[in-house]
Structure 1
Amino acid sequence: MANQVEPKLEKALYDKLQQECFVTIATVDFETGGPNVSAISWVFAKDEETIHFAVDNRSRIVHNIMQNNKVVITMIANESIYSIGGKAIVKKEKLDHVPLKLALIELSISEVRDVMFYGSKISIAPEYDKTYDIAAATRLDRQVMEAMKKA
């Protein structure tokens, strides 16, 4: 997809977003008007034009989206880096069937760009480990992903 702008997710990106995935999200800060970037992993492609993600409902991300709905998600996939932009809404202030107070955010995609610099590729995708109780993390991750799929 190098040097192309697409109006929706291609199949490979959609497939990658069917499970928990490391991404960054950029919003417009409600206090400063500048960029605000956070890393999240509870993200799910509802379809090729819609992404759901869950964050603590007290998160700065939620406050920022309520003031300015323009959002960009950046993800690494297929040996490249993609910028997925669009408009977001707080679909639910509290995600059902999850023990934490998580907001469900819905991103309506307006463009998907391959933003990897020319003549290169990602050779090793980033990995992360959960640093708290693995069984609890696995259970919570499953609950959040199922709740997002049902929303």
Structure 2
Amino acid sequence: MANVVEPKLIDPLFRSLQKERFVTVCTIDHETGEPNVSAISWIYAPSPEKIYFAVDQRSRIVQNIRANGAIAITLIANESTYSISGKAHVKVEKIENVPLKLALIQVDIREVRDVMFYGSKISVEPKYEKTYDAQAAAKLDQQVMNALKNA
């Protein structure tokens, strides 16, 4: 049976994107035209139709989006793996009230597809930890996530 393709985030995915989490972002490389994958954690869904994320202004992700807004985000949640595709653009060149020079990217979702291989489910979602000063990381994470929520 074919998986259902949704035009927006289903509720469990929307809820999972209300806090910082590990995802991968695939853009089209502005120099080679080939896929370019990066891992990020500053991501937030303000609505089921839209996703915001923050990355360094100098990131290859930003350069790629400026050249071609096609994007796919891989999210592991709801006991499965999802590909969220759409069109991205730089919404804010430099996020205010954050000590780093971060750009805010907006993704207008076109489709959400369950891409987990047949007959399986995710039993443990990916976990990560920051390897620099824990207090500084928590403060920065809070500043960035607040900026995404208030964008």
Shorter-chain TM-score bucket reads over 0.9
Residues 11-62 of structure 1: CA deviation (Å, up to 9, x unaligned): 1100000000100000000000000000000000010000000000000000
Q: In the alignment, residue 149 of structure 1 is paired with which amino acid?
A: K
Q: SS at 1:82's partner residue?
A: strand
The count of corresponding residues between Structure 1 and Structure 2 is: 150
Q: Cα distance, 1:124 vs. partner? A: 1.3
- Please, which runs of 5 or more residues in structure 2 have no aligned partner? none
- TM-score, normalised to structure 2, is 0.98
Further displaced range: 121-130 or 41-50: 121-130
Q: Which residue of 2 aligns with 1:108?
A: 108
Q: 1:83-98 counterparts in 2 under 5 A?
A: 83-98=83-98
Superposed CA RMSD: 0.7
TM-score by length of structure 1 reads 0.98
Structure 1 alignment gaps of length 5 or more: none
- Structure 1, residues 56-87: CA drift from partner, whole Å, max 9, x if none? 00000000000000000001001100000000
Instruction: Name 2:67's counterpart in structure 1.
Output: 67
2-structure distance, mates of 1:109, 1:10 = 12
Give 3-state SS (helix, strand or coil) of 1:75's partner: strand
Post-superposition Cα deviations, 1:110-145, rounded to whole Å, max 9, x if no partner, equal 000000000001111111010000000000000000
Matched residue, 2:146: 146
What's the % identity of the aligned pairs? Answer: 65
